[in-house]
């Protein structure tokens, strides 16, 4: 079972290493990880996707709380959330396919952000499955290079961490 | 007040009430040692290897309940502390380790004697700090001591670059700590305490299984009161030893791999187990899903992460065990469990802890030490057979009386830790129960003990083997004794002790053991080592093989 958790931490050097290191040390697998600053300059927020049964998740959360720099851990499993990832995809775009590719991209509300004689870079945001679907459709044109951010999440509604 | 970082460090330690530092100088701590040159109110104990400093600080902390302090230079000095820091981490011992570091401008340049000690110790510290600005130093030290001693105690490393030590600051020591991610829960949840009491009151065959946290929280009195009122038999782990008086008739000895048969049988048949500040270690539980299968668990611990880590309790209580036990005792019914107690008594008669055979036996040696010290000595152990025999044959009365590396199982721990314990308690008798293997791992600290006239007594149970490994090879590897016979090359311990300026004695038979122990007890100005040449092939029994259950228990 995949869980998406948000971890609020002190915005200090070394905190990422402490937090990420805990996962490998305790044998928990990270599927994706995204970190950024927040509205409070002293706080960073991590969104971590982790795979494992519920009991493991509880243990992860407790172990995270033991780190002095961890302020709050939230499991988003049982609540509505807004989930996003961003992908940049460099895809082969020979003149005869360009129209086709641009159509597909516009259905996914992506953008072509770089154009050369025979390549595009496509930018797309959305939940992971949407990005997976677009990548699937672009395969046949030849994906030359690709990068996806980790998942980022906020709870829906007025509630805040 | 204007002062340098090095002065500020010592002043901060003074503010924390530090009386002793175990350390070893070097290039990256010269400024601090220069301040120590004029410092009279904080004692510096010069060890002979940094590992000894970390273990001595640990032994001091375990014996006294105060925060132990050790210090080393950058690079190899700091990495030599690592085993000691990991030992303290596994057993939740409050120490603060201060390390020198190359100057901030040289960090990351592979400078001479540079090591990323905060990186290295990340997984083995409760927290650590690299101080890059001198103005942070006082509040870092304040936080380090606060973190080390509160909640679940543990080691904290403070890494101080050389230029931070020499930079000036306007010193002011903070009077409180603000850590927004750290607020340990001390009082247990009232509702949970209520439920725990109900469960205990409904039990027919209740037991208490206590651990190291009982010693850490100084909760012996509270535990005894509860056990007596609810008539619950008690077993204490290796680290919990002394947390319940062992001459009490509710006491069943140690559980687990080398615990008493009756403690293990009782756990196996109990219907309610109150687990107090203990972590269901594999050396206690054996095969986890078979451990105490019929029991419902109440688990009290200050660390929420311990609850449900190995065993899911019916009633979880997060809090300081002393406070929780006190509250719980008021809620339980005064009762007697005649039938249950009679059944346990039967096991005690049937499977007593015993040893037999001729020649000088290690168990005999420990019993004689117990007799000669009226059971009052602080017992520190190395790791291996010596440790298990000490646990089995030296019953303790007081909390903090038995000091041993449990979690990490660090050979070489005992002797330097004994020095730390003796420095914490100069008026008490301290024995290090050692093996011929482990004593050689930190024997250099004999020089430390001689220098500071630390009258630690060392009982080397010399069987010429790495005994516990030999025992496993005998039992589980068809007696193929691969690299465990160390008799050749082992020094003459008597001469070795004498070479350091300590007293060395030898006993080769029962008749020589008692006089040697008595002679050692009369020495108060230097360490004394006794080389007990015990029978070679003795095994520690009973034994539940690793991953086994009570049904697999070997009795002799």
| Domain spans in chain B, listed from the N-terminal domain onward | 2-170, 190-350, 362-533
Average pLDDT, chain B: 97
A2-75 homologous superfamily: ACT domain (3.30.70.260)
pLDDT at site A160:
86
Q: Given a cut of 90, is residue A26 above it in pLDDT?
A: no
Residue-wise pLDDT for B33-78, tens only, equals: 999 999 999 999 999 999 999 999 999 999 999 999 999 999 999 9
Note whether A83 and A153 are within 8 A (CB): yes
Q: For residue B391, what are the CA distances in angstroms to B98, B148, B367?
A: 32, 27, 11
Q: Give me the helix-helix angle, A15-25 and A54-66, nearest 10°.
A: 140
The number of C-beta contacts closer than 8 angstroms across A and B is 38
pLDDT at site B379:
98
CATH, domain B190-350, list 1.20.1440.230, 3.40.50.1220, 3.40.50.300, 3.40.50.2000: 3.40.50.1220
How confident is residue A28, by pLDDT bands cut at 50, 70 and 90?
confident
Chain A CB contacts of B122 below 8 Å = 17-18, 21
Residue-wise pLDDT for B255-309, tens only, equals: 999 999 999 999 999 999 999 999 999 999 999 999 999 999 999 999 999 999 9
Q: Give me the helix-helix angle, B467-476 and B385-393, nearest 10°.
A: 100
Look at residue B162 and give its three-state secondary structure: helix
Which of residues 143 through 162 in chain B touch A, CB cutoff 8 A? 147
CATH, domain B2-170, list 3.40.50.280, 3.90.25.10, 3.40.50.20, 3.40.50.970: 3.40.50.970
pLDDT at site B39:
97
DSSP for B113-128 reads T---HHHHTGGGSSEE
Topology match between the domains B2-170 and B190-350: yes
Nearest CA in chain B to A70: B181
**Interface residue of B139, B156, B305 to substitute, partner A, most A CBs within 10 Å:** B305
Q: According to CATH, where is 3.30.70.260 located in chain A?
A: 2-75
| B362-533 is classed CATH 2.40.160.60 | no
DSSP alpha helix (H) spans, A86-151: 98-107, 128-138
Q: What is the CATH number of domain A82-153?
A: 3.30.70.1150
How confident is residue A78, by pLDDT bands cut at 50, 70 and 90?
confident
Q: According to CATH, where is 3.30.70.1150 located in chain A?
A: 82-153
Residue-wise pLDDT for B176-211, tens only, equals: 998 988 999 999 999 999 999 999 999 999 999 999
pTM for this prediction: 0.96
The two structure tokens encoding residue B364: 């005999």
A65 touches chain B (CB under 8 A): yes
CB-CB under 8 Å, B118 with A66: no
3-state percent helix, strand, coil for chain A, nearest multiple of 5: 30, 40, 25
CB-CB under 8 Å, B118 with A68: no
Note whether B60 and B33 are within 8 A (CB): no
- Which region holds residue A107: left if phi is over 0, alpha if psi is between -120 and 50, else beta? alpha
């Amino acid at each position: 079972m995949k869980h998406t958790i948000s971890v609020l931490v002190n915005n200090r050097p070394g905190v990422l290493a402490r937090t990420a290191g805990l996962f490998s040390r305790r044998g928990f697998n990270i599927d994706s990880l995204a970190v950024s600053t927040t509205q409070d300059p002293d706080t960073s927020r991590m969104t971590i996707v982790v795979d494992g049964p519920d009991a493991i998740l509880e243990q992860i959360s407790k172990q995270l709380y033991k780190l002095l720099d961890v302020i709050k851990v939230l499991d988003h499993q049982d609540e509505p959330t807004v989930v996003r990832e961003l992908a940049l995809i460099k895809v082969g775009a020979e003149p005869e396919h360009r129209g086709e590719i641009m159509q597909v991209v516009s259905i996914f509300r992506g953008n072509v952000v770089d154009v050369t004689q025979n390549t595009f870079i496509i930018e797309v945001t959305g939940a992971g499955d949407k990005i997976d679907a677009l990548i699937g459709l672009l395969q046949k044109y030849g994906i030359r290079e690709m990068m996806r951010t980790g998942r980022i999440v906020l709870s829906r509604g007025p509630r805040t961490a | 007040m204007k002062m340098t970082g090095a002065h500020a460090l010592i002043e901060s330690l003074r503010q924390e009430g530090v009386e002793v530092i175990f350390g070893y100088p070097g290039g990256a701590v010269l400024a601090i040692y220069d301040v120590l040159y004029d410092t009279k109110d904080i004692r510096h104990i010069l060890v002979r290897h940094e590992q000894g400093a970390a273990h001595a600080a640990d032994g001091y902390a375990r014996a006294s309940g105060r925060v132990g302090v050790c210090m080393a230079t950058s690079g190899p000095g700091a990495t030599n502390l690592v085993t000691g820091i990991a030992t303290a981490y596994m057993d939740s011992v409050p120490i603060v380790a201060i390390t020198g570091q190359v100057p901030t401008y040289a960090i990351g340049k592979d400078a001479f004697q540079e090591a990323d000690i905060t990186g290295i110790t990340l997984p083995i510290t409760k927290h650590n700090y690299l101080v890059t600005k001198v103005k942070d130093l006082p509040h870092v030290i304040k936080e380090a001591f606060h973190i080390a001693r509160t909640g679940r105690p543990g080691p904290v490393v403070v890494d101080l670059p050389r230029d931070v030590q020499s930079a000036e600051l306007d010193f002011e020591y903070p009077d409180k700590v603000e850590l927004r991610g750290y607020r340990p829960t001390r009082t247990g949840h009232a509702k949970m305490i209520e439920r725990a009491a109900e469960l205990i009151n409904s039990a027919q065959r209740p037991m208490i299984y206590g651990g190291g946290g009982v010693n850490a929280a100084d909760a012996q009195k509270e535990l005894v009161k509860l056990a007596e009122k609810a008539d619950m038999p008690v077993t204490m782990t290796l680290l919990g030893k002394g947390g319940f008086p062992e001459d009490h008739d509710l006491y069943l000895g140690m559980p687990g791999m080398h615990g008493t048969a009756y403690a293990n049988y009782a756990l196996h048949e109990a219907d309610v187990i109150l687990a107090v500040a203990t972590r269901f270690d594999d050396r206690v539980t054996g095969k986890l899903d078979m451990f105490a299968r019929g029991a419902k668990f109440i688990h009290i611990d200050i660390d929420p992460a311990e609850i449900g880590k190995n065993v899911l309790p019916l009633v979880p209580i997060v809090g300081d065990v002393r406070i929780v036990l006190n509250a719980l005792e008021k809620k339980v019914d005064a009762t007697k469990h005649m039938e249950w107690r009679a059944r346990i008594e039967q096991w005690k008669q049937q499977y007593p802890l015993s040893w037999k055979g001729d020649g000088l036996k290690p168990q005999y040696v420990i019993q004689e030490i117990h007799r000669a010290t009226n059971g009052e000595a602080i017992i520190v152990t190395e790791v291996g057979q010596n440790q298990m025999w000490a646990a089995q044959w030296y019953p303790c009365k007081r909390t903090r009386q038995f000091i041993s590396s449990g979690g990490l199982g660090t050979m070489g721990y005992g002797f330097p830790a004994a020095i730390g314990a003796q420095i914490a308690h100069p008026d008490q008798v301290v024995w290090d129960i050692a093996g011929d293997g482990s004593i050689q791992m930190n024997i250099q600290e004999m020089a430390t003990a001689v220098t500071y006239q630390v009258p630690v007594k060392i009982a080397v149970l010399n069987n010429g083997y790495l005994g516990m490994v030999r025992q496993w090879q005998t039992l589980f590897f068809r007696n193929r004794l691969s690299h465990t016979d160390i008799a050749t090359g082992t020094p003459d311990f008597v001469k070795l002790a004498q070479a350091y300026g300590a007293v060395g004695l030898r006993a080769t038979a029962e008749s020589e053991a008692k006089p040697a122990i008595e002679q050692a007890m009369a020495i108060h100005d230097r360490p004394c080592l006794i080389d007990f040449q015990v029978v070679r092939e003795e095994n520690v029994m009973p034994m539940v093989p690793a991953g086994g259950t009570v049904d697999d228990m070997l009795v002799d």
